[in-house]
Structure 1
Amino acid sequence: MQPVAAIFEKREDRKKAVSIINAERSRAQTDGEIQISLTDRQWELLSKKGEADTWKDEYITIVVTSPFILIVTGALQSAFGLGTEILDAVAEIFRQAEAADIDLGELMLWTVFAAIGIKAVK
């Protein structure tokens, strides 16, 4: 039962942080201030709230993971004796990425981290 309770606690923490942000913004508007001070977590919540209706993250995830999805699709196609065209195309994708000095494995890792909300500085 602990994980469920933790989810509700985090949800309440987020609600409390949003109410603090709104109160700070209202106070700043009332006082005529141009800038308000927020913690990193508050800024993150505010930016997430603004991005709630976008598909940007999903689009990037699909684009980055598509070569790996194509590998599975190509392997299935080949296993059923339907040719290796998809696997050949995927091999070309990896060759072109390597020629452009793009590490698809690391790109995939950072995309997964972003999807689950892990912020890290390299």
Structure 2
Amino acid sequence: MSVLTAIGSILSGLTKPLSDAYSAYTARKAAKDTAEAKIKMAKQAGDFNIQLSDAEWEAISKRNESGTWKDEYVTLIITSPFVLLFLSAVASAWTGDPRFIVSANAGIEALKGLGVDLGDLMAVVVFAAVGLKSIGAIKK
């Protein structure tokens, strides 16, 4: 019975993130549809004062940002230390020279000296990329 419990626990652990992501997707889609309906009704009525919830406002603002590079730029900047570390490890292995790794580690230590937690920063970027607004909801 404990093997079945372990398998069930593993399966629920694997499906919960997918379920949560789908729930977040449907909530964002519903907010976008509601906001667009409110805007359409306001235009027809000639009303310039529209009350939108935070989710509706976010959905509309994301629609307007679809052609910008802002999110991609932030993602590139935040992930660059990890790319640098990977490339320096490859270069170090290729050439047999450990200075590449030492230099990359020195750069990452300098970032840590600024008080930047690269793990939390990476989590924020990944969650933002998939459209999750709060890390607190994920860490529960």
TM bucket normalised to smaller: 0.7 to 0.9
Unaligned runs of 5+ in 1: 1-6
The TM-score normalised by the length of structure 1 is: 0.73
What is residue 75 of structure 1 aligned with on the other side? 89
What is residue 131 of structure 2 aligned with on the other side? 117
Task: Output the amino acid matched with 1:33.
Answer: D
Following the alignment from structure 1 to structure 2, what is the Cα–Cα distance between the partners of residues 119 and 18? 15
Aligned ranges for residues 22-61 of structure 1 at < 5 Å? 22-61=36-75
Task: Pick closer, same or farther for the CA change 1:121–1:80 going to 2, 3 Å.
Answer: closer
User: 1:38 deviation in Å?
Assistant: 2.6
Contact 1:28–1:34 (Cα < 8 Å) also in 2: yes
Q: Which moved more, 1:37-46 or 1:103-112?
A: 37-46
Aligned length: 113
User: 1:100 deviation in Å?
Assistant: 1.1
Q: Give 3-state SS (helix, strand or coil) of 1:57's partner.
A: helix
Q: Give 3-state SS (helix, strand or coil) of 1:54's partner.
A: coil
Contact 2:88–2:100 (Cα < 8 Å) also in 1: yes
Share of identical aligned residues, percent?
34
Task: Output the amino acid matched with 2:82.
Answer: F
Q: Give 3-state SS (helix, strand or coil) of 1:53's partner.
A: coil
The TM-score normalised by the length of structure 2 is: 0.65
User: 1:40 deviation in Å?
Assistant: 3.5
Q: Give 3-state SS (helix, strand or coil) of 1:78's partner.
A: helix
Contact 2:127–2:135 (Cα < 8 Å) also in 1: no
Following the alignment from structure 2 to structure 1, what is the Cα–Cα distance between the partners of residues 120 and 39? 39
CA RMSD of aligned residues (A): 2.7
Following the alignment from structure 1 to structure 2, what is the Cα–Cα distance between the partners of residues 114 and 52? 14
Contact 1:70–1:87 (Cα < 8 Å) also in 2: no
Unaligned runs of 5+ in 2: 1-21
Task: Output the amino acid matched with 1:118.
Answer: L
Task: Pick closer, same or farther for the CA change 1:120–1:21 going to 2, 3 Å.
Answer: closer
Per-residue CA deviations over 1:59-108 (Å, capped at 9, x if unaligned) read 11111111111111111111112534442332222222121111111101
